[in-house]
Amino acid sequence: MPVADSALRRSLLSLALGAFATLGLGPAARAGEVEVLHWWTSGGEARAAQALKASLQAKGHQWKDFAVAGGGGDAAMTVLKSRVVSGNAPAAAQIKGPALQEWAAEGVLASIDDVAKAEHWDEVLPKVVADIMKYKGSYVAVPVNVHRVNWLWVNTAAFKKAGANVPTTWDEFFTAAEALKKAGITPIAHGGQNWQDLTTFEAVVIGVGGADFYRKALVQLDPATLKSPTMEKALATFKRIKPYTDRNAAGRDWNLATAMVIRGEAGMQIMGDWAKGEFIAAGKQPGKDFICTPAPGTAKAFSFNIDSFAMFKLKSDANTRAQRDLAAAILSPEFQETFSLNKGSIPVRLGLKMDKFDDCAKASAKDFVDTARSGALVPSLAHGMAVPAAAEGAIKDVISQFWNSDKMSAKEAMDRLATAARTR
Ligand code: BGC
């Protein structure tokens, strides 16, 4: 009986579809998994990474965490290389600045222009940021936030105890350091890892020489500027900081150095505003428990560090869809706000309200715009924004050797810097 037969089949089919719908299997069939490589493992960073995971899961997809600990991301980049070489790239990886171009040139990144177009990225992103995310005119990465690197973090109670004033110049910085030392407080919390040494150094170079000098020396890598009297002064100032750090600084992670300032064991730290994420995660309030102030002499400059995720070519359609959903979610206004509130950064998307942000973030947002106009917005060398990875690595090594050596003169360091700058 064909009629009854087909009626039976239809009702069985609708029963089955109903069951799928009840179990939520319909959308799940379209759900995918996104493996995300990042190095956000400290307290504040982990809270921010959690927000990213939640926004992907809210779209019905699965998050596969691929966290490689190590501030600054050098360890993560080493692991990423071996995964890609073995043909097993993650869906998304935290890759920044000029390195995006290097990865794209290898042919392993996917164009995400479809998402960018649908979400109007060209309109909601500053052009300077959009350009970093594009390879040959196509988006291959999505920016997450903007970090300012040239900050000084101050423990208010420690400064009060020492009778020290928050410094705005390098002279005032060393006066404050002396006062803290006399009060039995470690003046500068530092972690002796090469990227942290370079983070401090680039702040000193901007503070001593100004933004134009920094750009000429550490972005354009001009040999004469790298060997100039101003560079010699910057190196001498940098080296003068070392005696104010403690004996256990070697190898210390940046967030443990921040914790020293949070606890008041140390008075100051020179670090990007991911450090603020640690203060916030520890329940501390800006302006009360701690103060954020531009690193000495750098109030009119902004060294930027933009976190971004590069998207790799994938074979599975479901995973590709999930990857695109992640890219779209990252630039949504809601995510932009939640993420930066935890991370210590500011949103990268233009035109968002800053009401929920603290004064450090508000100052950062204003200075980002002002310095873009004045020409004092500069890419951070220590955080992969300024030069290709090979030159950055070589410069990083020279600066650390200079910091750690009792014998290397500033003149010798300058010669070595000029050689390192030529590394390709
Ligand atoms: C990254 C930040 C991160 C910091 C410390 C920087 O290079 O851009 O997102 O919090 O390193 O790990």
CA 4 to ligand 1 center in whole angstroms: 66
CA distance 175 to 164: 8
Per-residue pLDDT of the chain (424 residues; tens, 9 = 90+): 344 455 445 444 444 444 444 444 445 557 999 999 999 999 999 999 999 999 999 999 999 999 999 999 999 999 999 999 999 999 999 999 999 999 999 999 999 999 999 999 999 999 999 999 999 999 999 999 999 999 999 999 999 999 999 999 999 999 999 999 999 999 999 999 999 999 999 999 999 999 999 999 999 999 999 999 999 999 999 999 999 999 999 999 999 999 999 999 999 999 999 999 999 999 999 999 999 999 999 999 999 999 999 999 999 999 999 999 999 999 999 999 999 999 999 999 999 999 999 999 999 999 999 999 999 999 999 999 999 999 999 999 999 999 999 999 999 999 999 999 999 9
| The ligand 1 atom nearest the CA atom of 277 | 10
Neighbours of 356 (CB within 10 A): 11
| 3-class SS of residue 276 | helix
CA 163 to ligand 1 center in whole angstroms: 32
At position 284, the amino acid (one-letter code) is K
Q: Which two tokens stand for residue 194?
A: 């090469």
**Domain covering 5-147+304-374 assigned CATH 3.40.190.10 in the classification:** yes
- Residue pair 140/133 in contact (Cβ under 8 Å)? The answer is yes
pTM: 0.93
The pLDDT of residue 4 is 46
Write phi, then psi, for 121 (nearest 5 degrees): -60, -35
CA 73 to ligand 1 center in whole angstroms: 7
CA 71 to ligand 1 center in whole angstroms: 6
Residues with Cβ within 8 Å of 258's Cβ and at least 6 positions away in sequence, in order, are 153, 189, 269, 271, 275, 278, 279
Residues comprising the chain, all counted = 424
End-to-end CA separation in angstroms for the chain: 78
| The ligand 1 atom nearest the CA atom of 306 | 8
* CB crowding 374-412: b at 16 or more within 10 Å, else e: eebbbbbbbbbbbbeeebbbbbbbbbbebbeeeebebee
CA distance 268 to 159: 9
The pLDDT of residue 28 is 52
CA distance 278 to 283: 9
- Pocket (CB within 6 angstroms of ligand 1): 39, 45, 71-73, 147, 254, 274, 305, 307, 383
* Domain 151-302+382-420: CATH superfamily, name plus number: Periplasmic binding protein-like II (3.40.190.10)
* Nearest residue by C-alpha to atom 11 in ligand 1: 72
Q: Of 98, 143, 8, which is closest to residue 389 (Cα–Cα)?
A: 98
Half-sphere exposure of 354 (CA within 13 A, CB side): 18
Let me know if the fold of 5-147+304-374 is the same as that of 151-302+382-420.
Answer: yes
Residue 60 DSSP symbol: T
Across 72-123, where does the E strand assignment appear?
92-94
CA 37 to ligand 1 center in whole angstroms: 13
* Nearest residue by C-alpha to atom 7 in ligand 1: 72
CA 41 to ligand 1 center in whole angstroms: 10
The pLDDT of residue 30 is 77
CA distance 309 to 404: 34
Residues with Cβ within 8 Å of 319's Cβ and at least 6 positions away in sequence, in order, are 32, 33, 34, 91
* CB crowding 64-85: b at 16 or more within 10 Å, else e: eebbbebbbbbebbebbeebbe
Domain map (residue ranges) of the chain? 5-147+304-374, 151-302+382-420
pLDDT digits (tens, 9 = 90+) for 201-253: 999 999 999 999 999 999 999 999 999 999 999 999 999 999 999 999 999 99
CA 274 to ligand 1 center in whole angstroms: 7
The pLDDT of residue 23 is 46
Q: Which of the listed residues 274, 309, 348 should we mutate to test ligand 1's pocket, taking the one with most ligand atoms within 8 A of CB? A: 274
